[in-house]
Structure 1
Amino acid sequence: MPFYRMKLVFWLLDINYEFADSEPEIRLWGISEEGRRVLVIHRGFYSYFYVVPKQDMVQETMEKIENMRGRLSQIVGTEIVERKYFGKPLKVIKVVCKDPAVLEDYAKKISKLEQVERCLEYDIRYSMKYMVDNEVSPCSWHELEVEEVKEGPNAQVDAVYLAKEVPRKVERESSPELRVLAFYPIYYSKRGSPKPERDPVIMIATLNSSGEAKIFVSNGDDSEVIRGFTEYVREYDPDVIVGFESNQKHLLYLKERSKTLGVDFSITRTGTEIHTSAYGHISITGRANVDLYDFVEDIAAIKLKTLENVAEYFGVERPRRIREYEIPSYWDDPSKRKELKEYAAECSRSIMGVASSILDFAIQLSELVGIPLDHVGTAAVGFKVEWYLIKEAHKRGELVPERVERPYRPYPGAIVLEPKPGRHEKIAVLDFKSMYPSIMIAYNVSPDTYVPPEEIKESEDYYIAPEVNHAFRKEPPGFYKEVLSELLKARNQIREKLKSLDPESPEYRALDARQKALKVIANASYGYSGWIGARWYIKPVAEATTAWGRATIRQTISIAKEMGLELIYGDTDSIFVKYEPDKVKSFLKSVGEKLRMEIKVDKVYERVIFTEAKKRYAGLLPD
């Protein structure tokens, strides 16, 4: 029963949806500005897809769809709306459905009508569509009017509310104080890799963000270990559970082991089971499961992604090394069991230490691209870019293309020069600032500005890519140009603001993490353009960008040679030259003036050793 109306300001941690009384309802899990854990239920949002009719068949298509509503009973509304598709205006039919699960099936049936060209946006998940449509972002603050509900769903929160309006974003730099729990389990197996149906969990070490450490140790029955850990999760009630390989291994192991033993392993805020969800992440409803392994996978400097190496890279406590096959010998020897417990505790401390370095970035990345915190790490970088583009497309009335399977069609990549093998002293690495995004902005390279050869008109003005001769309209600004310009502008503004802040302040940490997230998405946009799984994939966009990149590097090399700089190596968007400060300074200025792109000294090696192979070198920095 509703209680009373009030204004609620809360930070969105997790989102899911359920059916209640035959109606879908969005569930927003968050933390209020007073620090209370809350659940906001939003009813009345229905999902939809778009039908693109063939030319001049809008009304006829509308009538056909209306005639199908008797068979397609979940349709609750249709309307003709104006949208853009690859920049071209068109009229489409919006088909609204009560049950989001029917969208793909209904779109498939309607697409068979002879009047229909295609159906779009039937493959966007309900909770994501809710956030995109309403400009709701995970890991950010929102305000709305709510009614407190006395008898709500089963949820481990301080209050349950019914939304009376759409949440509105509130701009705040800092996140709330999150309750974080790090955990590390150890399994006992004398026969190869541990298997949950056979091998027990002998201990689980935990550490929370208040500094409280606990270790749940088996006394011959590992059901007590799992039960103790589960009860502790409920008692401490963390917002974020962090682990290392928790998605790939640990959470599923604990789930399967608990089933084998017949013990409860409900660590969600709803008392339900954990489950595998989008991009392979393990969902813990109402909490965020953050697997740190997902965030270090792309760090090239960490060759072998072990917890020990990751901890060392981030400068936090490195646990001693005990190999998996050695665990039984430590456990079976009473004199060594204490060392095994210390190892587990060290692992939990290492995980918490790495989390303190990664969580700020993960939170900012989640808010930027719109993917919830628990699976922004598991989503491939292409999906991160794509969700950012989907958000931006919606703001512009641009329809989201379907995801289709395509054969891989290679195209020439970036230039990688043959290195001068041997040892070299005082070598400067000169790096173009956001080279590929800058190229896409400078030449208006975008799926909606690309003009096929048969559509080129003498009356229009185009940028023509070198080598490949692909044409792109100079006006109006393309979708990619607008989006990338905003990303780079936002990053530059943040970097300027950082100069005036105390590096130890919470605001500095949040903004620094934000600018890093902006950089990741801006730089990944070029790779996205050439990814065959991309919704906005058009091969000439990737080919042209790479061609302009090669031309830029060639021109840069030519300028360097003209100025007498000794070139040692070149790779994609950077060149290595003998460091002569005055010459390098003049060179940077000349490149900026001639190529309209910013190039800077990234680092200066005291000495570098190059092999004859490309991308194989070792350098020594002054520090």
Structure 2
Amino acid sequence: MGDYGYMRRYNEDKGLLRYYNKEKRLAKNTEDLDPRVVEANRRSGGGNEQHKYDKRDTRRLSGLDLYLVQRSPVSVDNVSNNVHVGESPSVTAHSKDQNMAGFKHKNAEDPVMSPGISSIIHEPSGLDPGLFEIQEAVDLEGYIMEVSYDGSTSKAVIYVYVEEDGKLYKVYDKTGHRPYFLVDLEPEKAREIAGRSQDVVDIYRVEKFDLLSNRKVMLTKIVVRDPLVVRRLRDKYPKTWEANIKYHHNYIYDNQLTPGMKYRVKGSRFDLIVNIDMDKVREEISEIFSGEPEYVRETAIKWYPIFEAPPPRVKRASLDIEVYTPTKGRIPKPETAEYPIISAAICDNSGKCKVLLLKRGDGEELKALREIEKEGAEVRVFSDERSLVVALYREIARYPVIVTFNGDNFDLPYLYTRSRKLGLQKEEIPIVIRETHATFKHALHIDLYRFFKNRAIQNYAFEGKYKEHTLDAVAQALLGKGKLANEEGVGSMSIDELARYNLRDAQLTIELTTYSKELLWKLITLLMRISKLGLEDVTRTQVSTWIKNLFYWEHRSKGYLIPSEIDLSIKKSRKATEAIIKGKKYAGAIVIDPPQGVFFDVVVADYASLYPSIIKRWNLSYETVDPPEGMCSKLEPIADESGNEIHQVCMDRVGITSVMIGLLRDFRVKIYKRKAKDKSVPEELRNWYDVVQRAMKVYINASYGVFGHEKFPLYALPVAESVTAIGRMIITRSLKKAEELGLMVLYGDTDSLFIWSPDQGKLDKLRSWIYENFGLELEVDKRYRFVAFSLKKNYLGVLQDGSVDIKGLVGKKKHVPEFVKEAFAEAVGRLGSIETPQDIMRISSWLRDILQDIYRKLRDKEYTLDQLSFKMTLGKPLESYTKNTPQHVKAALMLAREGVSISQGDNILFVKVRGREGVKPVQLAKVSEIDLEKYIESLRSAFEQILAPLSIEWEEISGHMRLSDFAHA
């Protein structure tokens, strides 16, 4: 029968499953076992060599001390292949290579042969590496999707997607382009420093225009064989330029490519295909930008096609895998991949879904898969893991773009490591693990987790609709549906439950790219076009990289020298203000302290794109602020809110930052926001224009934060300082004008004013005055039914539709116990019903009732341990916690002492208890041990954020109850 790989003891007092290896106790024969164990094991269908994961594993077996899981290496005779026994044509079971270990088979008794499974189809154990080769092309029309460097050929490779056949092609560089960097030495001296290195291809002089000095400069270009040589040589020279740019980005700049756009590729030529009337474009741009310099108008004409050309219709599929783990909350490690892949699901953007399953359960459970098949998904069942993985690779080979959610960190590296463990050769595995991400040999990979985690995407593109970056949170916010419940872990699910769970994840992942008429895919396409980054780059990098790339591309297109960070830090270092916030280098935005209390009918007015507008209006750029003496004939002062001159700006030439940020702002405000609302425009086109303006909004709103960050390569302290100083000046003068008009401004923060019950005529006068004096638009952003301010500057506001805004949401944070979250959410919902000041008194009474009910439930132990549990992730190995021992680590150490294997990345569920340690893991705790005072403090921390702005004291709501009255009841 083979040996017994895993045993576990069920401790009835503590509810803890302890796992033992076979050295601790080994049953050699079935006769050695309690008959109940033998029967339970027989009914469970045996085990496999990785782990047994039958649903029965989690049940409580009355009177059963040991439950042994069989590990039995069994071969499957290939004669049994291709035997058709059932009626359902879409549900198929696949056998395995006879050298692989799998579940025990007993001919007719074998579950895979049960009615409802139509056929056993042989899966060849190997994979043809050619299956994952991208066809090379030299002459085609298609969309440039990505550019990378191929070390084997020492060439750039361009990935082109052709809509007509739905395939991805690769085009190797034919221009002879090589990596390079620039120095300010004569070629002879540059060659002398390089030495006799065979890696140097050429050295020659080039002319550039240096914006910092406003003159042409001659530099020496050092051309090398591969990008690694640049890294090796650049430190030998006293000063270098453009030596820290990734090679594939350099290739895009030099060839002026725009990823996401359609090209005719032939030989060494890349010809942009533009199917719009450029004469009409010039007319429109000349009219809209009539007052702008020629340079601005020409740049606008060049940019226009990237906003008008439709996005490529790309065939793509999502991929999601499920991995067995012996303990709920355990996160499998991709670097070791010790547990089996038990399910994999694929859904494409045409609506087709497939789920590949490792066989488990009995015939009746397998029959349940018929229902999933009836719902439209194809189901395939495999008797061994290797066959499942091989079939998965064959499936994904059909798609040029694969979408995952956290695939970089989990799915792809786990698949790669597990495939090697299963005996697949590197050539047979389509996955490539790179330094910064994971991808495929045959396809491009989008990891939506990394894209949605981007703050600019979260806050500007999706306006903060999702708060957490999990698949469930993002899908609930954007799709209105989330993951299926997973109470006991995937290892405890029946095979049909597992199939549905896995399919739902894959469906959510692909639907995030297709919902709302492919909003997300269109957004990604536009971000590629604006940033000049390929698909894999743009979905993984922050907005600072997008903006930097756009600026570098534009510098290269105009023949400008990209300035070095050293030059900027030396030539643009004069500081004129002191920061109020510790750690900042200059004074930031102005914040008006609010009065404490509740105010009804409050209008929030925002300066439309305040900082970008300032950058354009005042011509702010690294080369225009504080120019070298004698380099500018028209200087204007930059003053702060007190009228002090802090810097000067050159106005006789337009700054590159002013042009780029100003153009995006004007394209959005003057063209695409209007087109998106124009009912005379066809709906599909309006939808596209709405995505265009969203993409621009991401850039515009993030621009100042990027330029004001000292880590940004184009950071210049005087520019950042000038932007915030002008902002403070505008707010201060606006407040004074509002007071003159008789408007009551309650609160202001950076670019917004909270005005109490404003007269519309007076508000219009304020808006007109701001436009006339600063060229800025003051827009009404929202109108609150009421706003409640606390002394801590937190505010709570209820909008006209009853939705609630709260600044600082303790009650919604991930680690807060479920009972607190639920009560907090209910309270926030009630606040939306407040219409008058009298309603606040009623809410106060209701809050008292609900909190006292929670008191009662805590006292009477009505909450379960799950409802009371805190969940935190173990950020590093247990042994690494030497100085401090956080609460979740204390709980993890307790589990470890009980024999439970704990690893970095595991989610630790714990509760707060009385006693010296103060915490216990859920598995070891009892409800009677709960420390009620600590839970009431958690409740108070969450609810005081609601109560304080409403001027309600906690003691007033809690009814002056003393915890000691019932803490030990």
Q: What TM-score comes out, normalization by structure 2 length?
A: 0.56
More strand by share: 1
Which amino acid is the alignment partner of residue 212 of structure 1? K
Matched, 1:65 2:190: yes
- The residue that corresponds to 1:414 in the other structure is 589
Partner of 1:613: 792
Please say if residues 199 and 225 of structure 2, whose CA atoms lie closer than 8 Å, have aligned partners that are also in contact.
yes
Deviation at 1:572, TM superposition (A): 1.2
CA-CA distance at 1:180 after TM superposition: 1.5
Residue deviations 1:71-116 (CA, integer Å, cap 9, x gap) = 133333333222133432222112222323312222222x14xxxx
Q: Structure 1 residues 68 and 411 mapped into 2: Cα distance closer, same or farther (>3 Å)?
A: closer
Where in structure 1 are there 5+ consecutive unaligned residues?
A: 113-117, 146-162
Q: Structure 1 pair 272/560, CA: closer, same or farther in 2 (3 Å)?
A: same
Q: Does residue 1:245 correspond to 2:406, yes or no?
A: yes
Higher relative contact order (CA 8 A, sep 6+): 1
Structure 1 Cα separation of the partners of residues 425 and 748 of structure 2: 58
In structure 1, distance between residues paired with 2:562 and 2:524: 25
Return the offset for 1:439: 0.8
Verify: 1:311 aligned to 2:432, yes or no.
no
**Which of 377, 386, 389 in structure 2 is aligned with 1:223?**
386
Indicate if the aligned counterparts of 2:635 and 2:648 stay in contact, CA closer than 8 A.
no
SS of 1:321 mapped into structure 2:
coil
Determine which of 176, 200, 211 is the counterpart of 1:45.
Answer: 176
The one of 635, 639, 650 equivalent to 1:465 is 639
How far 1:285 moved relative to its partner? 4.2
- The structure-2 alpha-carbon separation of the partners of 1:211 and 1:68, relative to structure 1 and needing over 3 Å to count, comes to same
The aligned runs of 1:50-449 (5 Å cut-off) are 50-53=181-184, 61-67=186-192, 71-88=196-213, 89=215, 90-109=217-236, 111-112=237-238, 118-145=239-266, 163-168=267-272, 170=274, 171=305, 173-191=309-327, 192-196=330-334, 197-219=337-359, 221-234=384-397, 237-263=398-424, 273-277=431-435, 280-297=436-453, 298=455, 299=458, 300-322=464-486, 326-330=489-493, 334=494, 337-356=495-514, 357-402=519-564, 410-449=585-624
User: Once structures 1 and 2 are overlaid, which stretch shifts more, 409-418 or 391-400?
Assistant: 409-418
Q: Distance in 1 between matches of 2:271 and 2:658?
A: 29
Of residues 715, 720, 723 in structure 2, which corresponds to 1:537? 715
Q: 1:424 to 1:258 in 2, by over 3 A?
A: farther
User: Does the C-alpha gap of structure 1 residues 6 and 16 become closer, same or farther in structure 2, counting only changes over 3 Å?
Assistant: closer
Cα distance in 1 for partners of 2:257, 2:471 equals 35
Does residue 480 (structure 1) correspond to residue 657 (structure 2)? The answer is yes
Structure 2 equivalent of residue 156 of structure 1 = none
Give the distance between the partners of 2:390 and 2:795, measured in 1 at CA.
50
Contact 1:369 1:388 in 2 (8 A): yes
Q: Secondary structure at the match of 2:264?
A: strand
- Displacement of 1:605 in angstroms is 2.3
Alpha-carbon distance between aligned partners in 1 of 2:503 and 2:163, rounded to the nearest angstrom: 33
Find 1:587's aligned residue among 759, 766, 788: 766
Cross-structure match for 1:562: 740
Judged with a 3 Å threshold, the aligned counterparts in structure 2 of structure 1 residues 568 and 276 are, in CA distance, closer, same or farther, namely farther
Secondary structure at 2:725 match in 1: helix
Give the Cα separation in 2 of the matches to 1:263 and 1:285. 15
Q: Displacement, 1:459?
A: 6.8
SS at the partner of 2:536? coil
Contact 2:625–2:649 at 8 Å: present in 1 too? yes
Match of 2:157 in 1: 27
Indicate the SS of the match to 1:342: helix
Deviations 1:135-162 (A, max 9, x none): 11211111232xxxxxxxxxxxxxxxxx
Q: Is the 8 A contact 1:49 1:94 kept in 2?
A: yes
**What SS does the corresponding residue of 2:198 show, helix, strand or coil?**
coil
Residue type at the aligned position of 1:373:
L
Q: 3-state DSSP class of the match of 1:34?
A: coil
Deviations 1:474-494 (Å, cap 9, x if unpaired)? 221112112122222322322
CA contact 2:224–2:230 (8 Å) conserved in 1: yes
CA distance in 2, matches of 1:35, 1:70: 50
Query: What is the CA RMSD across the aligned residues, in angstroms?
Result: 3.0
In structure 2, give the amino acid aligned to 1:25. Answer: K
Deviations 1:482-510 (A, max 9, x none): 21222223223223333446787443333
Report if the CA contact (8 A) 1:528-1:534 is conserved: yes
- 2:196, 2:599 → 1: CA distance? 75
8 Å Cα contact 1:173/1:511 also seen in 2: no
C-alpha distance 226-560 of structure 1, shift in aligned 2 (>3 A): farther
One-letter amino acid matched to 1:27: V
* Alpha-carbon distance change, 225 to 578 in structure 1, aligned in 2, over 3 angstroms: farther
For the 8 Å contact 1:83–1:92, the answer to whether it is kept is: yes
Name the SS of the counterpart of 1:43 in structure 2: coil
Query: 1:264-311 CA distances to partner (integer Å, 9 max, x unpaired)?
Result: 6879xxx7532224xx33233453311222232222442232222211
Single out whichever of 485-494 and 595-604 deviates more from structure 2.
485-494
Structure-1 residue corresponding to 2:695: 517
For 1:30, the aligned partner's letter is V
Equivalent residues, number: 575
Q: Which moved more, 1:34-43 or 1:369-378?
A: 34-43
* Cα distance, 1:301–1:176 mapped onto 2, change above 3 Å: closer
Q: What secondary structure does 2:489 align onto?
A: helix
Tell me, yes or no, if the aligned pair for 2:401 and 2:446 is still in contact at 8 Å: yes
Higher mean C-alpha deviation, range 87-96 or range 537-546: 87-96
Cα distance change, pair 181–621 in 1 and its aligned pair in 2 (3 A): farther
In structure 1, the residue matched to 2:752 is 574
1:208 partner letter: D
In structure 2, do the counterparts of structure 1 residues 457 and 28 end up closer, same or farther at CA, with 3 Å as the change threshold?
A: closer
Task: Please give the secondary structure, in 2, of the residue aligned with 1:614.
Answer: coil
Q: 1:35 to 1:603 in 2, by over 3 A?
A: farther
Amino acid at match of 2:655: G
Report the AA paired with residue 618 of structure 2: Y
| CA displacement, residues 338-366 of structure 1 (integer Å, 9 cap, x when unaligned) | 23322222222221222224221111101
Write the distance in 2 (CA, Å) between the matches of 1:444 and 1:301: 34
Supply the distance in 1 between the matched residues of 2:634 and 2:480 (Cα, whole angstroms): 58
CA–CA separation in structure 2 for the residues paired with 1:33 and 1:224: 32
Report if the CA contact (8 A) 2:146-2:533 is conserved: no
Distance 2:631 2:530 in 1: 39
Matching residue's letter, 2:272: R
Shift of 1:164: 3.6
Equivalent of residue 14 in structure 1, options 146, 155, 159: 146
State the distance in 1 between where 2:682 and 2:632 align: 58
Once residues 249 and 762 of structure 2 are traced to their aligned partners in structure 1, the CA distance between those partners, rounded to angstroms, is 52
Residue 392 of structure 1 and its aligned partner are, at CA, apart by 1.2
* Higher mean C-alpha displacement, 547-556 vs 418-427: 418-427
Structure ID, larger Rg:
2
